[in-house]
Chains A and B, each alone.
Chain A
Amino acid sequence: MTNHWIDIRNADVILVMGSNAAENHPVSFKWVGNAINRGATLLSVDPRFTRTSAKAHLYAPIRSGTDIAFLGGMIKYIIENNRYFEEYVRLYTNASFLVNPGFKMPGELDGLFSGYDPKTRKYDKSTWIFEKDAKGLIKKDPTLQDPYCVFQLLKKHYSRYTPEVVSSITGTPKDKLLKVYETYSSTGKPGKAATIMYAMGWTQHTVGTQNIRTMAIIQLLLGNMGIAGGGVNALRGESNVQGSTDHCLLFHILPGYLRTPRASQATLEEYNDKSTPKAKDPMSANWWGNYPKYSVSLLKSFFGQNATKANDFGYAWLPKLDDGQNASWLMIFDEMYKGTFSGFFAWGQNPTCSGANANKVRMALTKVDWVVDVNIFPNETAEFWHGPGMKPESIKTEVFLLPAAASFEKEGSITNSGRWAQWRYKGGMSPGDAWPDSEIMTELYYRVKALYEKEGGVFPDPILNLTWDYGPKGGDGKINYVDPHMVAKEINGYFLKDKTVGGRLYTKGTLVPSFAFLQADGSTSSGNWLYCQSYTGKGNMMARRSRKDPSGIGLYLEWAWAWPVNRRIIYNRASVDKDGQPWDKEHPVIWWDKAAKKWKGDVPDGGWPPLSAGKSSRYAFIMKPEGHAHIFGPGLADGPFPEHYEPYECPIEKNLMNGQKFNPTIKIFSPETTTPLDVVFSCDPRFPIVATTYRMVEHWQTGVMTRWQPWLLEAQPQLWVEMSKELANLKGIKNGEKVSVQSARGQVEAVAMVTDRFKPFDIAGQTIHQVGLPWCFGWVTPPDGGDSANLLTPTIGDANTMIPESKAFMVNVVRKGV
């Protein structure tokens, strides 16, 4: 979230699309309700009439996988009806930038941008660039009239997204489309705010990243970024998925969103050089220009005093991916199925139910020699070897199932969706011999290290040089137990030698006060620069519990701690005019105090004076090398502007917007190119029904934690498939009877739930039905509770992130035994 949960109360319009917050983030509705009580309007756009829709002032149905069409139509509406906030757009976005005249768009190239190579399925982006003057500065047209300026290109691109075309793609009645557009765009002026609450309903698509980009463009046009009650707000679904992402348990990034090193970057200098953006414009803060300070401080936290300037701070000890290599989720199970790995850790995760095309995941596990599964309950991943269709006698895989402590049986911090890191205390003992995860990691650290010390092995250097100073040490040099405070301090970072910064001496061993103090010379450590300031000389900032809110807009600056540097609303330098005065006088986020010559309110996105100060100021979007928010976003794989493509598995033969059926840049998995299980049947009469997956309030994710609890299980005991009365009639299905839901990849048995909440869609004159299933069940427990809906979903991912497309695929539903 760019903003945070309580801030929702400041919105005038709230759009919930790609999520069902009332059901899956229920307490968020405390603040949605608060906004409604103040007069705010709630809009719900969803394939199904959800619990969120029930609270909304307006509900608009949409066929799964057509969000770009829906939102693209809103961009057209905003521009053609002059609903945008022109001054904001000109000051803070790249709308005025001039683009290379060689750049061509899908309207001209039948769904493609310029530079597409069908062989590699990639774009040559050499025309996706801005025009520059002799000094290397980007050429701009502040009047926004030049035909090659971003604004005019945007207008031209979305002029094709007429309400008629959009309605025929999405199935949304035209009057509802226009009502949503009109209501949402009413906030495109100073003093008004609209927010978006989205979740996996937007990310789990082959166009997931572009779904969110489309909304970001809308928020920029309306001046809704950086302000109270605005922002682009991802409702994250796991208590610490924000923190685990920040700490980068992901193939492509190191803690703090630093890049994982690539094979062509043999030295730290080459790595830093490749990773550090350069800015020509002196008014661009270009914050990523500090990259080497963060990468060197990270290496110091990995290897301590073993990391020296002479050895590149241990850079050579980090594993390198090949250039262009993708080692993401879908690739892991693809490689596993092909026999690449002999070992596999499933730590606090249940991929045999949560992974798309779960049959492939389950079969892949039969191909490894050993699995280590760490969890608090038995789960379908550890038990896979005796699951449905498995013959234990023919499965070689060894499984170690290790019992872990629950969240309240240990101490540490987690980061919520609003980026607040909050401290948790230990509230009791674990049952039996269950251990905190950190103790399991520590034992593995010592034991693997001892093997390399005694017996040697391939390239032992990173293992032998790694530091593990996470508790008081005994006579054997090992820590006696893990002290999470010591880990939190390492993440924050220390001065490793006496160092003078800004005229002040910081002695060796001092906790670094904030990331502005980190150094590239090895004199500081920080396990994650974004968390630098979370644990300082003032104490554990994440444990703060002050209920004071002098801001009046719910910032609660002394409750816990938010990254970065306790900023509660990011991009907040865009919440003010060029003199630093808030657009919204009623809900000011920051304001420039002329007398004191400083910002007041939230922690500003940098302390430079407002734009009217000229050279001493900096542009608002400090993480972008040009300092301006990207309406034109040339960094993505599939285009600088979002374009509608159908889901990879879809119900209609032709994309009604262009000649490309599906996203032309996704990686294709198929029986011919990857594994026999990567089957997809698009527009196949055997699978004519659109399906999606979702969650319910009583169960969580795959249900590993909730399916073992009698209270919750009593409320929701088994898998169901929700469908319209029209579809049930067509199929002769009665409410409450068991049916089989089948896709090209698998089938599940489910109870038919026939409701008014789904309605058939009219897609260009064709009646299209949609059904939905929760994905929280699994065969281990409860008995007869059904299995994972991910047995149905395809192996296909977003063009940028490779997040699987679990929210739009094709099925059939039949009565049992038919």
Chain B
Amino acid sequence: MKLTRRTFLKLSGATAVGIAASKLGLDFSSVEAYAAKLRKDLKAAKEVTSICPYCAVGCGVIVHSIGGKVINIEGDPDHVINEGTLCSKGASLYQISGANPNRLAQPMYRAPYATEWKTVTWEWALREIARRVRVSRDAGFMSKNAKGQVVNRTNGIAHVGSAALDNEECFMLQKLMRSWGLVYIEHQARI
């Protein structure tokens, strides 16, 4: 299928239904039953390699999925650094997958002075954020500093994050923020 930007957005929404339903299928009540099912499922699962997202040792993991649903994550025995071993966090990685009901799954909005969140669409959230970026950027824009030197920066917006992103995303993010004129750009490396 040929993807356009619009169909991409739709598609990423459609997958929500399937994942939500599958969440109910897991049985945590019996570790044995779980292990037995996992052993069976793993034979049919798709395997890809990844790298643990916690500390920076860079341990290899194998992610097992069936039909796009992650069913297991474990240490990669071929990885030269960890040779299959993982710490307790790495060994629990499966629990940050879509199987965890606490994962954020919809954009949310908290209005000024509101006492509750409300669920919003991506379309609305992105449109509203873009507008606010423009207003804050322009309102806080400084063409020349006190000395009269050209600085063309905005003092209206600050940004922090993130060491949790991929390299490609870090590059894109700093490029985007700097194109808007931000200079207050920081992240985990400073703290």
Contact = CB atoms under 8 A, between A and B. Distances in A.
Given A321-B151, A458-B137, A476-B5, A348 B189 contact: no
A239 B55 contact: yes
A480 B4 contact: yes
Interface in A573-609: none
Nearest to B147: A263
Contacts of B114: 392
B169 A441 contact: yes
Given A240-B56, A329-B160, A697 B87 contact: yes
Interface centre among A406, A462, A554, by most chain B C-beta atoms within 10 angstroms, is A406
Contacts of B18: 429
Nearest to A781: B102
Contacts of A243: 163, 166-167, 170
B50 A342 contact: no
A434 interface: yes
Given A329-B186, A428-B70, A437-B165, 13 more contacts: A26-B57, A247-B167, A317-B179, A318-B178, A319-B178, A332-B186, A343-B157, A347-B162, A401-B110, A402-B125, A414-B51, A462-B180, A709-B95
A433 B107 contact: yes
Nearest to B143: A459
Contacts of A417: 55-58
Nearest to B8: A481
Interface string B58-75: 111101110011100100
Interface in B16-34: 16, 18-20, 23
Contact of B156 (A245, A341, A802): A341
Q: What's the dominant secondary structure at chain B's contact region?
A: mixed
Nearest to A435: B12
B151 A345 contact: no
A344 to B, nearest CB: 5
A376 B104 contact: yes
Interface residues of A, number: 178
Given A250-B187, A341-B156, A435-B12, A698 B88 contact: yes
A422 B133 contact: no
Contacts of A24: 55
10 contacts: A237-B188, A241-B56, A241-B163, A320-B151, A428-B70, A431-B103, A435-B12, A441-B176, A444-B133, A700-B55
A382 B114 CA distance: 13
Contact of B173 (A249, A410, A425): A249
Interface stretch (A151-159, A484-492, A638-646): A484-492
Interface in A127-151: none
B108 A393 contact: no
Interface string A468-505: 00100011101111001001101100000000000000
Interface in A410-433: 410, 412-418, 420-422, 424-433
Nearest to B117: A401
Contacts of A438: 166, 168-169, 172
A435 B85 CA distance: 30
Contact of B92 (A319, A409, A712): A712
B89 A697 contact: yes
Interface string B137-170: 1111101010101111111111111111111111
Nearest to A397: B112
A727 B153 CA distance: 52
Given A263-B149, A459-B181, A479-B5, A698 B78 contact: no
Contact of A556 (B50, B80, B136): B80
A355 B51 CA distance: 27
A305 B157 CA distance: 28
Interface residues of B, number: 132
Given A27-B87, A249-B174, A531-B167, A327 B97 contact: no
Contacts of B38: none
B44 to A, nearest CB: 14
A242 interface: yes
Nearest to B190: A329
A248 B187 CA distance: 9
A331 B155 CA distance: 12
Contact of A347 (B20, B125, B155, B159): B159
B188 A404 contact: no
A120 B122 CA distance: 49
A804 B12 CA distance: 40
Interface stretch (A90-98, A220-228, A367-375, A742-750): A367-375
Contacts of B51: 239, 407, 414, 416, 422, 424
A553 to B, nearest CB: 13
Contacts of A355: 191
A401 B163 contact: no
Contact of A433 (B105, B136, B147, B161): B105
Contacts of B90: 27
A564 interface: no
Contact of A27 (B85, B137, B164): B85
Contact of B190 (A239, A446, A801): A801
B140 A341 contact: yes
Contacts of B190: 250, 328-329, 801-803
A705 interface: yes
Nearest to A204: B191
A9 to B, nearest CB: 11
Given A239-B51, A706-B89, A393 B113 contact: yes
Contacts of B53: 239, 406-408, 414, 705
Given A327-B183, A342-B157, A429 B168 contact: no
Contacts of A528: 171
Contact of A341 (B107, B155, B164): B155
Given A240-B164, A422-B51, A803-B190, A250 B185 contact: yes
Interface in A205-246: 235-246
Contact of B63 (A30, A427, A448, A470): A427
B145 to A, nearest CB: 5
A332 B184 contact: yes
A73 interface: no
Contact of A376 (B103, B130, B139, B163): B103
Q: Can you list the 10 inter-chain pairs with the closest CB atoms, starting with the nearest? A: A432-B105, A416-B58, A427-B63, A348-B162, A412-B166, A347-B161, A319-B153, A403-B104, A431-B98, A447-B130
A244 B56 contact: no
Contacts of A251: 183-186
Given A255-B171, A335-B158, A466-B179, A394 B113 contact: yes
A583 to B, nearest CB: 26
Interface centre among A235, A345, A416, A802, by most chain B C-beta atoms within 10 angstroms, is A345
A412 B20 CA distance: 26
Interface string A681-725: 000000000000000011111000110111110010000000000
Contact of B168 (A241, A422, A491): A491
B126 interface: yes
Contact of B109 (A319, A401, A414): A401
Contact of B174 (A247, A434, A700, A706): A247
A466 B175 contact: yes
Contacts of B174: 247-249, 254-255
Interface centre among A235, A443, A545, by most chain B C-beta atoms within 10 angstroms, is A443
Contacts of A481: 3, 5, 8
A582 to B, nearest CB: 23
Given A247-B170, A434-B103, A480-B3, A420 B179 contact: no
B37 interface: no
Contacts of B93: 408
Nearest to B108: A401
B86 to A, nearest CB: 7
A431 B16 contact: yes
A319 B182 contact: yes
B184 to A, nearest CB: 5
Contacts of B156: 341-343
A28 interface: yes
